[in-house]
Amino acid sequence: MNAALRAVVRSGLYHGLEVYGIQRGYQGLLNNEIHKMDLRSVGDIIQRGGTILQSARCPEFKTLEGQQKGADILNEHGIDGLVVIGGDGSYQGANKLSKLGIKTMGLPGTIDNDISFTDYTIGFDTAVSVVVDAVNKLRDTMSSHARSSVVEVMGRHCGDIALHAGLASGAETILVPEVPYNMDEIADRMKDNFCNGKRHSIVIVAEGVGKGEDVANALKERHASIDARVTVLGHIQRGGAPTPFDRNLASRLGDFAVRSLIEGHSDKGCGMIKGELVLTDIDKVVNTKKEFDMELYELALRLSQ
């Protein structure tokens, strides 16, 4: 998010605009936590995870009164364009503000990669890299002790982190909420692999499927010989220095959002599809479920044998 914020600020200043930052999202907006930003405000942040503007949940902004209050505060400051970085809730808020006369742009900032009309969201590639690095380390231990490792990753409704990290790390099994699975078949295959000389087995589980502990217990119940250890990566996936891909994606999208506002666009979600920057109505973005990449999932299955 910092890379996106940096791009928005510097692109806005390049085009002669006054740029303001709102601390702590919609909650900060309602609290009038608004301050002017300059080039130095976003210096030395492109390599930092998280966001210097911070974020916060804001139940009040879900009400019509809260939304109108937010629009009034923006108007009082003379702010006629708002760039929102976040997921579904952030997009919903931008959509409401646009209906109250505030020009808005949404940038897809969520590690789950669950926003439609963009191939990748800001933070997704970094989260996948964190998971792959963890699995690489776990594999060393699992191979030394001939054990199985069940790794629980984020992804409540979208299994993209599990899928991409599983493929990149050579996981034998990837469990995602989009695809049904048979635990008996998984356990049998793991047992056969060990009997045939395999020294370890990695199972990646998206949290939307269930707890990693439950998966490990289910495997042990079916075959007592399976020594499955559980690792829950949790919020470690949300931190760390962003990858070059994420920094570049965020920079392109941030600049694109500013240029789109200048051109008169509003109530749009910014995305990148097949390398091309695209605008999509926020109404359409929030009401369209992102399609799961079954072709990639089937590739992971073929390569896991």
Residues annotated catalytic, as ranges: 112
Count of positions (residues) in the chain = 305
| Owner of token pair 């920057």 | 277
Nearest to 292 by CA among 176, 125, 204: 176
**What one-character DSSP code corresponds to residue 64?**
H
The bridge status of strand 268-273 relative to strand 276-281 is antiparallel
Nearest to 95 by CA among 87, 195, 103: 103
| Owner of token pair 């907006």 | 29
Number of Cβ atoms within 10 Å of the Cβ of 39: 12
Q: For 78, phi and psi rounded to 5 degrees?
A: 75, 25
d(CA 121, CA 115): 7
d(CA 223, CA 192): 11
The pair of three-digit structure tokens given for residue 91, joined into one six-digit string: 């997009």
Q: Give per-residue burial for 169-185: e unless 16+ CB within 10 Å, then b.
A: bebbbbbbbbbeeeeee
Nearest to 205 by CA among 240, 229, 239, 188: 229
Q: Which helix (H) or strand (E) holds 5?
A: helix 2-14
Q: Are 165 and 131 spatial neighbours (Cβ–Cβ below 8 Å)? A: yes
